[in-house]
Amino acid sequence: MQDASFTSTNTSSNANHYDVVVVGGGMVGAAAAIGLGQLGLSVAVIESRQPQPYDPLQPLDVRVSAISVASEQLLTRLGVMDELLTMRHAPYTGLETWELDGCLTAFSAEQVDQSHLGYFFENRVIQLSLWQQIYKMDNITLLCPAKVMQFSRLRDSHQVGILLDNGDTLTTTLLIGADGANSQVRQWAGIGLTGWDYAQSAMLININTQTPQQSITWQQFTPAGPRSLLPLPGNHASLVWYDDANRIKQLSQLSDLQLAEQIRLHFPSRLDPDFTVENRGSFPLTRRHAQQYYQDNLVIMGDAAHTINPLAGQGVNIGFKDVDVLVAQIANAIGSGGTWWDSKVLKRYQQARYYDNQLMMTAMDAFYAGFSNNLLPLKLLRNGALKLANIDSPLKRKVLKYALGLN
């Protein structure tokens, strides 16, 4: 981007005006566009990369998300859940976590009167379903491939100007940054970040097993980091290996056969040893939290506003919560005859989401820190706590409902 600072310009006579411009057409940005489009607002979505078309025979992507019940409800309201369920997915009904054998905590859908705890989908599949819905809506324009070259504050108006790489200019009353952890919108607005890089990285490994489709996702804690299994469609699964960044780099350089052997050595024995590695990828673990979520005529959401330790798979779910709250606040303003883009409305979005996100991030950090060492007294304490936590109780059900977004 050429200019990351605020500038003022006159409105161009040939500029295309939209009520809302969303920068970023990923899962969160596309969901926000549909939700606001359903309110009758004109929306443009700017995205630089076209996702690969869906083919049920293509290999499974390594980037998957655990969609919670609350996110499922949002996707249903956006009109995409039925379409999503026609594509590859895996429902899960149980979640188990432990460190030492015999000290296991198990959560099940029955404990909160649900048929399932959520679904595992490839991120691209979710994005494609959202895009299919966007194509059906006459008041949403999807600009792809397109990149933002410059943002500007328009003089004497409550609008933002956007210059694209093809020379086109857009104007908007509300600019939404859903453009990821390195958000152009956030940087242009001068919104600061707090956060840090974790010492660990994560490796995602898709495997083909001899086990039929599984319905329980599990995670074992080790001092080096968790080892997790996420069910995928058919006899596939995704393994998540958290470890020291150098160790993950070393594992990434192994052949598929060598990596499979390391998995058999370091993953729990409940993993079917008769598997083959199909795909893999790795990424560093970071925590970032924007110091604010809004300015006049501007909001940020999803990874542009917060990146969280993926320990509990909450990343996309808290992004969808951002969408849900912003759409609800703007709908309330429209319904009451107010100015829907007013800073008071955007402030209510921040108030509803900021501390909830902070709480989730802090809880994940505490969990991460509590299990990332091998001190015997702490090890005994946390395993005793896991064993106690497995007792069915109102508190356990409340924790599970919170994780599912049903609080």
Using one digit for the tens of pLDDT, what is the confidence trace for 313-345? 678 999 999 999 999 999 999 999 999 999 999
Residues 32-38 have a mean pLDDT of 98
Write out pLDDT tens, residues 270-310.
999 999 999 999 999 888 999 999 999 999 999 999 998 77
CA separation (Å) from 234 to 59, 91, 267, 293?
A: 12, 11, 21, 40
Mean pLDDT, the chain, rounded, equals: 87
Whether 242 shows a pLDDT value over 90: the answer reads yes
- Residue 62 CA to residue 239 CA, distance in Å, equals 9
Q: Which amino acid is at 399?
A: V
Domain spans, the chain: 8-91+120-196+284-369
Percent of the chain with pLDDT over 90: 71
- Residue 107 CA to residue 327 CA, distance in Å, equals 31
Residues 169-177 have a mean pLDDT of 97
Among 79-83, 110-114, 158-162, where is mean pLDDT lowest?
Answer: 110-114
- Residue 136 CA to residue 60 CA, distance in Å, equals 27
Cβ neighbours of residue 322 under 8 Å, at least 6 residues apart? 28, 32, 301, 302, 305, 349, 353
Q: Is 113 exposed, middle or buried (0-12, 13-18, 19+ CB in 10 A)?
A: exposed
113 conformational bin, left if phi > 0, alpha if psi -120 to 50, beta if neither? left
pLDDT confidence bin for 311, thresholds 50/70/90: low
Question: Tell me, what's the pLDDT at 113?
Answer: 82
More confident residue, 196 or 139: 139
- For the chain, first and last CA: distance in Å? 40
Cβ neighbours of residue 379 under 8 Å, at least 6 residues apart? 99, 100
Q: Which residue has the tokens 């990923």?
A: 26
Cβ neighbours of residue 335 under 8 Å, at least 6 residues apart? none
Question: Tell me, what's the pLDDT at 399?
Answer: 58
Pick the CATH number of 8-91+120-196+284-369 from 3.50.50.60, 3.40.50.720, 3.30.365.10, 3.10.129.10: 3.50.50.60
Write out pLDDT tens, residues 62-92.
999 999 999 999 999 999 999 999 999 999 9
pLDDT confidence bin for 7, thresholds 50/70/90: very low
pLDDT confidence bin for 12, thresholds 50/70/90: very low
Write out pLDDT tens, residues 362-386.
777 666 665 555 544 444 444 444 4
Check: CB of residue 201 under 8 Å from CB of residue 249. Answer: yes
Nearest to 167 by CA among 12, 9, 8: 12
In the beta sheet, which residues pair with residue 18? 172
CA separation (Å) from 371 to 98, 196, 223, 377, 406?
A: 10, 19, 6, 12, 27
Residue 48 carries which DSSP code?
S
Q: Is 302 exposed, middle or buried (0-12, 13-18, 19+ CB in 10 A)?
A: buried
pLDDT confidence bin for 9, thresholds 50/70/90: very low
Residues 168-194 have a mean pLDDT of 97
Write out pLDDT tens, residues 178-189.
999 999 999 999
Residues 121-132 have a mean pLDDT of 97
Percent of the chain with pLDDT over 70: 84
